[in-house]
Amino acid sequence: MQEIMNYVDGQMVPGTSGRFTENSNPATGEPASRVPLASKEEMDAIIEKAAAAQVKWAATNPQRRARVMMKFGDLINQHMDELAELVSREHGKTLPDARGDVQRGLEVVEVCMGAPHMLKGEYMNDGGPGIDLYSMRQPLGVVAGITPFNFPAMIPLWKIAPAIVSGNAMILKPSERCPSTSLRLAELLKEAGLPDGVLQVVNGDKEAVDAILDNETIQAVGFVGSTPIAQYIYGRAATNGKRAQCFGGAKNHMIIMPDADLDKAADALVGAGFGAAGERCMAISVAVPVGKETADALRERLIPRIEALKVGPYTSEEDVDYGPVITAQAKDRINGLITSGVEQGADLVTDGRGFSLQGYENGHFIGPTYFDNVTTDMDIYKEEIFGPVLSQVRMDTYEDALNLIIDNDYGNGTAIYTADGDTARDFANKVNVGMVGINFPIPVPLSYFTFGGWKKSAFGDLNQYGPDALRFYTKTKTVTARWFSGIKEGGEFAFKAMD
């Protein structure tokens, strides 16, 4: 069994709390690693080390900090296959999906190479009589990132890159389920020239999270995970005077209009609904066809596509569409929700329960599951399943479909498939969701825009990556300056105010 370390002051060190959690291989169910869980005292000591390192790093000019990002980006590219292998081994997702995980994180690193421009302040000459005003963006100090298991490379990079290039030190607490990629990224950052102590990667559970939230040195916290935990972290961070951006769960809908290309819509739904075993906050988990004819035709197209999906381990020599879910507990929960859908009256079209793979009978696999005639009072509609389950909710009109999304508690992502530009424009303007796709199933913005949901999918004023990230990790100082004319008399200055 692999012994996982923490990354402290530029080196791998064992945990000191004496507490551990064990992880299994998602594909086999066999024990895989033992991860240390930091205590409050351990976390407090590491935060103190980060604070000491941050002072000199903040004094390093933005151009030099950006050069570290440039070298870091090169190293990520050089080690792409290694990093993807780490992601797949711990998470279970396919290698192509894992490479995409790393690539989307790398794109944020690339944007952060332009930090000298994005960190510039503003200047006004003669804002008043003889008065100049200018603003500066300065780092917060020590910040923290708490990241989930489902994107072990991408989301840590979304936190690390903008926080560090802005001049902060960062405490990263990755998911204890998938810590290895973050630890390897920390080593690559050191190789790129990051001083020891500026990034500390510490494994832990709720005790470590609470230590972060209660430590007075931590100035800001970024989190991605479930909505209940996002609310908890946001509330406790705010109570303790910290900035917080906390991203929670999702229930992403796709409307399919009668004029849509149904083959393209069906392909999009299968990829967006079942890719990464549905373990992503931008997965489309609810298909909303408008009209009975559209719904029947969509169902007819979905069934063969879903039945053709290949499920297996990332090490399979055959092409695999998706792998196992993260843990046996996650598998049990998803199977329980599927059963509840049947009991509550949904039409189970394809059933992924009981899926078994020869040689991997103890793996955490679930077959692709598709429900039709789902209603809003069912648990499979109300809860974020976070598994390979697609629900179809039939609506009679476009207005009904739009209001279904507007009334949902979550507002992370949504999409519409239509050939009508006016309908698409109306949808984009009216829907109360943070990220919208038009004939595009997973509307994750490019890294020079910004990522963020609405409603119970996000807590905090600023989004992830893009310009918002550098605003989140810096504070603005504005200087109002007036100088006086001076005439040297008798070795001293006599000053006269300028009118």
Residue 226 near residue 150 (C-beta atoms within 8 A): no
Question: Quick one: which H or E segment has residue 252?
Answer: strand 252-256
Terminal alpha carbon distance of the chain: 76
Residue 34 near residue 22 (C-beta atoms within 8 A): yes
CA atoms within 13 A on the CB side of 421: 0
Phi-psi region of 197 (alpha: psi -120 to 50; beta: other; left: phi over 0): left
Q: Helix (H, G, I), strand (E, B), or coil: what is residue 325?
A: coil
Please name the residues in contact with 427: beta carbons below 8 A apart, sequence gap of 6 or more.
Answer: 255, 402, 416, 418, 436, 438
Which long-range CB contacts under 8 A does 419-425 form with residues at least 24 apart? 419/257, 419/259, 419/260, 419/261, 420/257, 420/259, 423/257, 423/398
From residue 10, give the alpha-carbon distance in Å to each of 65, 192, 201, 271, 471: 17, 12, 10, 40, 27
Q: Bridge partners of 34?
A: 3, 22
Residue 294 near residue 257 (C-beta atoms within 8 A): yes
What is the tally of helices (H) and strands (E) in the chain? 16, 25
Helix residue ranges, H only, 254-350 = 262-274, 292-307, 328-343
Residue 349 near residue 371 (C-beta atoms within 8 A): yes
Nearest to 137 by CA among 108, 171, 167, 169: 167
From residue 11, give the alpha-carbon distance in Å to each of 14, 112, 199, 364, 407: 10, 25, 11, 33, 49
From residue 82, give the alpha-carbon distance in Å to each of 4, 98, 101, 153, 492: 17, 10, 13, 12, 68
Does the annotation count 246 as an active-site position?
A: no
Q: Helix (H, G, I), strand (E, B), or coil: what is residue 445?
A: coil
User: How far apart are the C-alpha atoms of 166 and 69, rounded to whole Å?
Assistant: 11
- What the block records as the tokens of 441 is 């199933």
- What the block records as the tokens of 436 is 């919208």
| Residues identified as active-site | 281
